[in-house]
Structure formats: structure tokens, C-alpha cells
């Protein structure tokens, strides 16, 4: 197997999200590249004992995001790399974020309030997509 998953039961992040994040992370680091085969559902659950539907859901999400594609009877394969596109978008995104942080501090929010606001907003739209 090219990638081995693990589950953090206490992170508060849904298991299928954790799998997605681990795939994306591996892709970003270059551990997974185009043409690599993801472990089968059976292989994944035999290593970390989780519900197969969770793995199926994660793989489906990755497919919708255009990152992987299933080949029936053979497996699920990575279809692109997550490298340059995110790095290129980093710069403008970083600037926007700094601008927003300045606004938040002017509004009187302390560091913890900013973090709480960020986290709750971060999670809600993710649920809508799921």
C-alpha cells in the first residue's frame, strides 16, 4: 500500500473528513502522485477498523473534487497532483486573510474570539458540502 490511514478518535473531525485530509496531505507532500492506486476499501478497514461506508464516502468526495477516479474491478487511482495550483493561489489568499485579521482586531475581538469565530464558520460550510 502506498498510503496508510490513521484515525484520531478525539479530534472532533468526522472520520471520513480525516481520510480526505490525509489523502490531500499526502498528495501535497508528493507521496501520492498521478496514477497511484489508493488502498481498497477492504484494505483500509482491515488496517484501521472503521465502517467501510466511511471509506466509500471519503473516496466519493475525493472523486467529486476531481482528485481521484475509480476504475471498476481494478481500484481507485489518483488523477492529478495537488501542488502548484494551491501554491500559486497562496499569495492572494494570504493577503486577504491578513486584511481580515486586521479588521477583526479593530472590531475588538481578542485572539481566542477570532479563533472561535474562524472555527465555527470553517465547520458550517464544510457540512453543507458534505
Partner 1 sequence: MTAVLDAVGLGKRYGRRDALVDCTLSIPAGHVVGLVGPNGAGKTTLLQLAVGLLAPTSGTIKVLGGQPASDAHHLARVGFVAQDTPTYAGMSVADHLRLGAHMNPGWDAQLANDRIARLRLDPRQRAGKLSGGQRAQLALTLAIAKRPELLILDEPVASLDPLARREFLQILMEFVADQGASIVLSSHLVADLERVCDYLIVLTRGHVQVSGEVEELLATHYRLCGARREVREMPAGMQVIDASHTDRQSTFIVRSAVPIDDPSWTVEQLTMEDIVLAYMTQAAAVDGRDRVLEASR
Residues of this chain that bind partner 1 (CB under 8 A): 7, 9, 12, 15, 40-42, 45-55, 123, 127
Nearest-approach distance from CB 80 to partner 1, in angstroms: 27
Q: At 27, phi and psi to the nearest 5?
A: -65, -40
Nearer to partner 1, 51 or 86 (CB): 51
Burial class (CB in 10 A: 0-12, 13-18, 19+), 23: buried
Nearest-approach distance from CB 50 to partner 1, in angstroms: 5
Give the Cα separation of 99 and 108 in Å (integer).
15
Nearer to partner 1, 103 or 123 (CB): 123
Nearer to partner 1, 27 or 62 (CB): 62
Nearest-approach distance from CB 112 to partner 1, in angstroms: 14
Nearer to partner 1, 53 or 86 (CB): 53
Angstrom distances, CA of residue 57 to CA of 16, 20, 61, 92, 106: 7, 9, 6, 32, 41
Amino acid at each position: 500500500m502506498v498510503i496508510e490511514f490513521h484515525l484520531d478518535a478525539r479530534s472532533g473531525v468526522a472520520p471520513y473528513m480525516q481520510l480526505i485530509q490525509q489523502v490531500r496531505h499526502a498528495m501535497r507532500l508528493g507521496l501520492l502522485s498521478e496514477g497511484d492506486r489508493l488502498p481498497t476499501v477492504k484494505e483500509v478497514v482491515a488496517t484501521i477498523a472503521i465502517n467501510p461506508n466511511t471509506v466509500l464516502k471519503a473516496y466519493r468526495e475525493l472523486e467529486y473534487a476531481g482528485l481521484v477516479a475509480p476504475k471498476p474491478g481494478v481500484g481507485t487511482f489518483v488523477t492529478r497532483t495537488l501542488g502548484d495550483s494551491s501554491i500559486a493561489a497562496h499569495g492572494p489568499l494570504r493577503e486577504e486573510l491578513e486584511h481580515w485579521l486586521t479588521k477583526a482586531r479593530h472590531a475588538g475581538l481578542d485572539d481566542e474570539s477570532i479563533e472561535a469565530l474562524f472555527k465555527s464558520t470553517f465547520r458550517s460550510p464544510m457540512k453543507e458540502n458534505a
